[in-house]
Amino acid sequence: MAASPSPPRSAWVVCGACVRGASHERAGLPNQDAIATWVPPPGAENDPVIVAIADGHGGARHFRSAIGARFTVDTTVELLRSLATRIEAASDAERSRIAAVDVPAGIVGAWNERVRSHLASTPITAAEWAGVEATEGRAALDAVRADPMLAYGTTALAAMVTGCCVVLAQLGDGDILAVAPDGTTTRPLPADERLLGNRTTSICRPGSERDFRCIAVAAGRVPLSLLLLSSDGYANSFQTDEDFLLVGRDLQEMIRSDGVAAVGAQLQGVLEHTSANGSGDDITLGLLLRTGGLGPQRGAHTDSETWGDAVEPPAIGS
């Protein structure tokens, strides 16, 4: 499923795609990723531009993670839109607090409500319970019976650009890359040392709002022309992290050469090929492009000092 490129109604345009992994197709599994975007409608050019993606967990105990991922991206876009005016009017310190506290708490709270509503209207079936026990055993079945939210587990990534700032949020694995006009590529958010191998934090965990990594940065304080958000199936399709980091620069060059509409139209095919020849996993990619912001390139590196120095988010609860 491809998200059509948005028309250039503001200084930022959005495009993206979400594809079912090659291994999921062979196994008859659904696409457990999701993407949602928001661009201003005609006459509302000052509205924010938003991309949210989610990667539902594999494993039998997370048998409704595709639904959980859809709930995640929808509630994230709604929450960020609702906070945009406050963020625009806030001081730097207050923006930082909103990003660190209100954004994750709002996303998790809205997601919990939506999942509880879905469980009430669509109770877990005997076949679903049996699938958990047959695949992962009695302990997994008991875990989900004790906390049915586990069935909907997923990661979350989001980016919002307003007239004056950039807000980024991440829970669990996946990648957010920031590309400067010269092609320099950075990871704006700090690493989470708990994400080892296939282990990830999840929105279905109690207290998951404390597991988010979020920042709000004044738009003029960082050199930025492209934001790239992707589920981990994309990075895992590359032999090295250095190879993956070149993607931002390469996409920027493609957009400069062919235009955002042409690149957006190619994304689904590119991601399907990448999955088939790489991780085999579902892959979701979202791009936010600053129009007119593409300048001479230089190359990619991982130094995030510029972003790291731009803001120090307060700890949750401060």
Q: How far apart are the first and last CA of the chain?
A: 40
| 161: three-class secondary structure by DSSP | strand
Nearest to 227 by CA among 211, 244, 251: 251
CA distances from 178 to 125, 133, 216, 247, 288 (A): 43, 42, 14, 11, 10
Q: What are the tokens at 120?
A: 């009430």
User: What's residue 308's pLDDT?
Assistant: 58
Q: What is the pTM (predicted TM-score) of this model?
A: 0.89
Domains and CATH numbers, the chain: 2-310 (3.60.40.10)
C-alpha dihedral sign at 133, 135, 137, 140: negative
Structure tokens at 299: 């190359």
CB of 21 within 8 A of CB of 31?
A: yes
Confidence of residue 2 (pLDDT cuts 50, 70, 90): low
Residue 25 has pLDDT above 60, yes or no: yes
pLDDT value at residue 3:
53
Predicted confidence at residue 248, as pLDDT, reads 92
> 313: which 2 tokens?
């988010």
Evaluate whether 16 touches 2 at the Cβ level (below 8 Å).
yes
Q: In this structure, what DSSP letter does residue 164 have?
A: S
Return the pLDDT at 200. Answer: 93
CB-based contact 277:271 (threshold 8 Å): no
CA distance 168 to 271: 23
Residues 283 and 68 sit within 8 Å (Cβ to Cβ)? no
User: Rounded to an integer, what distance in angstroms lies between the CA atom of residue 59 and that of residue 109?
Assistant: 24
Strand partners of residue 215:
168
The span from the CA of 136 to the CA of 61, in Å, is 7
Backbone angles phi, psi at 161, to 5 degrees: -115, 125
In tens, the pLDDT along 57-106 reads: 999 999 999 999 999 999 999 999 999 999 999 999 999 999 999 999 99
Average pLDDT score, the chain: 88
pLDDT value at position 236? 93
DSSP strand E in the chain: where?
A: 2-3, 12-19, 33-38, 49-55, 156-161, 165-171, 175-179, 185-186, 213-218, 226-230, 283-290
pLDDT in tens, 119-153: 999 999 999 999 999 999 999 999 999 999 999 99
| Residue 296 pLDDT | 42
What Rg do the C-alpha atoms of the chain give, in angstroms? Answer: 19
pLDDT value of position 8: 39
Amino acid at the residue 223: P
pLDDT digits (tens, 9 = 90+) for 249-280: 999 999 989 988 899 999 999 999 999 999 99
Is it the case that residue 286 has pLDDT exceeding 90? yes
- Indicate the pLDDT class of residue 306, thresholds 50, 70 and 90: low
Amino acid, single-letter form, for residue 221:
R
Identify any residues that bridge with 264 across adjacent strands, giving them in sequence order: none
pLDDT at 300: 42
In the numeric block, the tokens 């579902």 are attached to 282
According to the model, what pLDDT value does residue 5 have? 46
Encoded tokens for 60: 């039998």
Q: Where are the alpha helices (DSSP H) in 2-156?
A: 22-27, 65-89, 92-97, 103-121, 126-136, 138-146
